[in-house]
């Protein structure tokens, strides 16, 4: 029995050692895995910009708060104006001051003019349109066509002013119809601005009670004004894998499909030949079947124009809110009455004689940055910026809010003060530190139209009404 007992003890000893050895091996494997994961998470390319990494898989997303632009500005004070940030599982680079933004988007504009491929937005745009189209020959052709066509139909010229002032008359009548009672001006402002785009794109305007037009405006606004939709859209941008969830296709992509079908219906039933769609179709015929000017590209191009135009109505609403909450309204009205009186129709040429009005508008642009990070850029090649090496294909964001709220440039930036844009003699001072439409080759295509609209609408509304 003694040999059998010894053998049993030996087997038991080996089993215990095997369990211990296996435990050590598993512990070592876990430690090595965690180490490699953390090494991969925190490593950066050589000479890459510094910045916060956050936590694995989520990055800094849980720490952005309600005002991501302010959080980024706070971090840039520690890491500098060229800062890398781990968003989800991707590294994005944020530019945090005016000089750095201009160095990148203007001085090295072509190198920073790409657009990153974001799966969610790519399903919306289908690789077409103009705003999110990547930099290249195709984008250059579409951009050149857009600029020349918009100029041809009056953008930046007196003919476009006439269209805007005509629409202002309709807007004023719509406001008067409420007999001085409180009402939500959002919808009629959106329709008024949309009609300016419609006159260029389709050669016609819509009545403010037109159900077709109202639904298009509501659908466009829903992406950013509806809390559920806008929140889910942001999640999809940062976590592209969620794009396959049913909620997305049911509530977001259906919107684009409807708008496209309705735009196509308008296209096929057009009654005028003097519009953007006709110009596009002319290019389509001239191209003789190439993929540059297709029906799909037309639909997405038109969607982008209407979407960009909707931002102008938002700026106008902020402008009116600033009038209500700050005591500048009477100063503005006094200058308008001195230059135009109560009946003369405003024109862009009047700006030269209205320094306070120009200062007021520039302060609205600065005080309320509608798109704090603008539209995402992407590097088209390896670049060097402020001594840092940024690889080709890196997503770039510019913090326009930080530029507009830099205390080294603006005294008390959190206060609304139009006078900051006037010199000692009361002359308007144009500031290159106010860049709501961004800068460089990818600056807003409709900047001229937006500035013209905001000036004429603001002057006309203050001229005719008190808020």
Look-up of token digits 């930046």: 156
Residue 238 makes CB contacts below 8 A (sequence gap 6+) with 61, 87, 88
From 375, 334, 389, 380, select the one nearest 82 (Cα to Cα). 389
Q: DSSP letter at 410?
A: S
Q: Both tokens of residue 296?
A: 């799909």
C-alpha span between 216 and 201 (Å, rounded) = 15
Q: Is residue 407 within 8 Å of residue 413, measured between CB atoms?
A: yes
Q: Which pair of tokens denotes residue 34?
A: 């965690």
Question: What is the C-alpha separation between 34 and 145, in angstroms, rounded?
Answer: 53
The answer to whether the beta carbons of residues 198 and 271 sit under 8 Å apart is no
Does residue 152 come out as left (phi exceeding 0), alpha (psi in the -120 to 50 range) or beta?
alpha
Q: Distance between CA atoms of 437 and 375, rounded to whole angstroms?
A: 10
Question: What residues pair up with 396 in beta bridges, in sequence order?
Answer: 93, 377
User: Is 358 part of any known ligand binding site?
Assistant: no
The secondary element (H helix, E strand) that includes residue 292 is: none
What angle do helix axes 447-464 and 355-367 make, rounded to 10 degrees?
120
Residues 375 and 131: beta-carbon distance below 8 Å: yes
What is d(CA 90, CA 179) in angstroms, rounded to the nearest whole number?
Answer: 54
Query: Which residue reads 């009455």 in tokens?
Result: 337
**Binding site members for heme:** 444
**Binding site members:** 444
């Amino acid at each position: 029995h003694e040999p059998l007992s010894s053998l049993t003890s030996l087997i038991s000893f080996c089993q215990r050692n095997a369990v211990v050895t296996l435990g050590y091996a598993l512990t070592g494997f876990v430690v090595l895995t965690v180490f490699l994961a953390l090494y991969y998470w925190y490593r950066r390319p050589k000479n890459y910009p510094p910045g916060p990494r956050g936590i694995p898989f989520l990055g800094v997303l849980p720490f952005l708060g309600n005002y991501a632009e302010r959080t980024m500005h706070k971090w840039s004070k520690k890491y500098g104006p060229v800062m890398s940030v781990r968003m989800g599982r991707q590294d994005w680079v944020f530019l945090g001051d005016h000089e750095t933004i201009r160095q990148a988007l203007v001085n090295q504009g072509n190198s920073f003019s790409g657009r990153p491929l974001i799966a969610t937005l790519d399903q919306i745009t289908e690789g077409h349109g103009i705003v999110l189209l990547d930099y290249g020959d195709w984008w250059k052709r579409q951009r050149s066509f857009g600029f020349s066509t918009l100029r041809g139909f009056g953008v930046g010229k007196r003919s476009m002013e006439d269209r805007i002032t005509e629409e202002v008359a309709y807007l004023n009548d719509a406001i008067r119809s409420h007999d001085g009672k409180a009402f939500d001006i959002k919808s009629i402002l959106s329709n008024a601005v949309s009609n300016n785009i419609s006159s260029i794109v389709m050669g016609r305007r819509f009545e403010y009670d037109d159900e077709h037009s109202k639904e298009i405006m509501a659908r466009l606004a829903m992406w950013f004004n509806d809390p559920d939709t806008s929140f889910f859209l942001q999640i999809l941008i940062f976590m592209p894998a969620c794009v396959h969830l049913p909620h997305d296709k049911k509530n977001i992509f259906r919107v684009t499909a409807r708008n496209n079908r309705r735009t196509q219906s308008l296209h096929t039933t057009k009654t005028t030949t003097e519009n953007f769609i006709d110009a596009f179709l002319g290019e389509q015929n001239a191209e003789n079947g190439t993929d540059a000017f297709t029906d799909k590209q037309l639909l997405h191009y038109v969607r982008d124009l209407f979407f960009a135009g909707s931002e102008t109505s938002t700026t106008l609403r902020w402008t009116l809110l600033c009038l209500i909450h700050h005591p500048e309204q009477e100063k503005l009205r006094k200058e308008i009455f001195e230059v135009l009186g109560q009946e003369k129709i405003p024109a862009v040429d009047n700006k030269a004689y209205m320094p306070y009005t120009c200062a007021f508008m520039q302060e609205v642009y600065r005080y309320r940055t509608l798109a704090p990070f603008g539209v995402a850029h992407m590097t088209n090649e390896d670049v060097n910026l402020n001594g840092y090496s940024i690889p080709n294909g890196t997503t770039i964001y510019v913090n326009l809010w930080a530029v507009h709220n830099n205390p080294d440039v603006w005294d008390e930036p959190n206060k609304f003060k139009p006078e900051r844009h006037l010199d000692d003699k009361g002359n308007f001072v144009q500031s290159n530190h106010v860049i709501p439409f961004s800068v460089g080759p990818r600056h807003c295509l409709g900047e001229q139209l937006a500035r013209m609209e905001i000036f004429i609408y603001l002057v006309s509304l203050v001229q005719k009404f008190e808020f």
